[in-house]
Amino acid sequence: MAFICYRQHRFKPEARLLIDHAIRIIEDYRTKGFPDMTLRQLYYQFISHDLFREDQRYSWTGMKWVHDPNGTKNAMPNYKCLVGLISEARMGGYIDWTAIMDRTRNLVRPSVWNDPMDIINSAAKGYRENLWAEQPEYVEVWVEKDALLNVVDRACDEYRAPYFSCRGYTSLSEMWQAAMRLKRKRDEGFNVFVIHLGDHDPSGKDMTRDVEDRLAELSDGIIEIHRLALNMDQIEEFDPPPSPAKTTDSRSQAYIDEFGNDSWELDALDLVTLNDLIQGEIKLHLDMTKWVMSKEVEERHREELQKISTNFEKVRRYVNKLKNK
């Protein structure tokens, strides 16, 4: 953890109350296995738990947000308010610097090692095999936005499922590469599935259709696309906070005719709920008997690597002896 004060700041009681709410939410999710959150995810927890004041209600005029006592708290002014407050709280040492992440800006660092023993020890600890190799099906998880990769990464990691951020409508280049990758898997004999997650709004709904149509065209056949979330039955069950449907979207009228004036972001789902949805869907595609057998083989191979790591100096001397013969 990193609570570091760079700038002294005395918060008003109402601001300090919001900071305390943020700290409790962060710690709650850490205990559930989510060590970091995006600001967007934190914001939706504030909306879900109704933590903004009653005078922080707004309505969208189609041009801007305006104060409205009968409006919604799920509004851009409240998001900007929270972003500013959390920034000041981090600078003031109240919130752990490692608790909030930004998936869109990351340093790319090449892998380096101190010595050969270092890399062998690391390999032994982190050794993982392709447990899908003996499975009858191949699954990828596609998500509309980068902001949810922390949740998708955690959900997919346990079952070694590959995942991909579409970043909205996927580029033609990336879609072609995906089609070729999935086509190879199909040609190898796998039943191929893409699990797609997106917002429940005019574009988010259409993106699933776009993925299905373009993959079918580029792969010369049908690859099954399943829209896992966000769907209306989940909205009714989990009751995520709504946002006004974007009337500037060219697809908005058809969406409004079918679903009304509200839309819902995938980010608004509870992180544990979203994790469980993804893992539940992945497990439907697994032959668990083969999965357990593959994990047992993996563990034996990991133990072999660990023995090599533990006895690395003996291995080094043996190799040097061979070189000198």
Residue 220 CA: distances (Å) to CA of 185, 301, 320: 13, 39, 54
Residues 151 and 260 in one domain: yes
How remote is the C-alpha of 10 from its chain's centroid? 35
Residues 83 and 146 in one domain: no
Q: How many CB atoms lie within 10 A of CB 147?
A: 20
Residues 6+ apart with CB under 8 A from 73: 47, 50, 52, 56, 57, 58, 241
User: Rounded CA gap, 160 and 77, in Å?
Assistant: 39
Structure tokens at 93: 């040492």
Residues 78 and 209 in one domain: no
Residues 148 and 225 in one domain: yes
Asked if residue 125 is part of any domain, the answer here is no
Domain count of the fold of the chain:
2
In this predicted structure, what is the pLDDT of residue 271?
A: 94
User: Rounded CA gap, 29 and 36, in Å?
Assistant: 8
For 262, the domain range is 136-286
Asked if residue 307 is part of any domain, the answer here is no
User: Rounded CA gap, 286 and 259, in Å?
Assistant: 34
Residues 268 and 187 in one domain: yes
In this predicted structure, what is the pLDDT of residue 108?
A: 80
Strands 137-143 and 191-197: parallel
| Domain end marker among 58, 91, 124 | 91
Residues 184 and 256 in one domain: yes
Residues 50 and 150 in one domain: no
Asked if residue 86 is part of any domain, the answer here is yes
Residues 42 and 150 in one domain: no
Structure tokens at 278: 């993804």
In this predicted structure, what is the pLDDT of residue 116?
A: 86
In this predicted structure, what is the pLDDT of residue 193?
A: 96
Residues 70 and 146 in one domain: no
| Domain end marker among 270, 286, 302 | 286
Residues 56 and 156 in one domain: no
Asked if residue 66 is part of any domain, the answer here is yes
Average pLDDT per run of 10 along the chain, which is 325 residues long? 91 95 96 91 95 95 92 96 96 94 78 87 91 96 93 95 94 95 94 97 95 92 91 96 84 93 94 97 97 96 92 87 80
In this predicted structure, what is the pLDDT of residue 323?
A: 80
Asked if residue 267 is part of any domain, the answer here is yes
Q: Cα–Cα–Cα angle for 288, 292, 294, nearest 5°?
A: 115
The CATH number linked to 218 is 3.40.1360.10
Asked if residue 299 is part of any domain, the answer here is no
Residues 83 and 150 in one domain: no
Torsion sign, CA atoms 250, 251, 253, 259: negative
Asked if residue 98 is part of any domain, the answer here is no
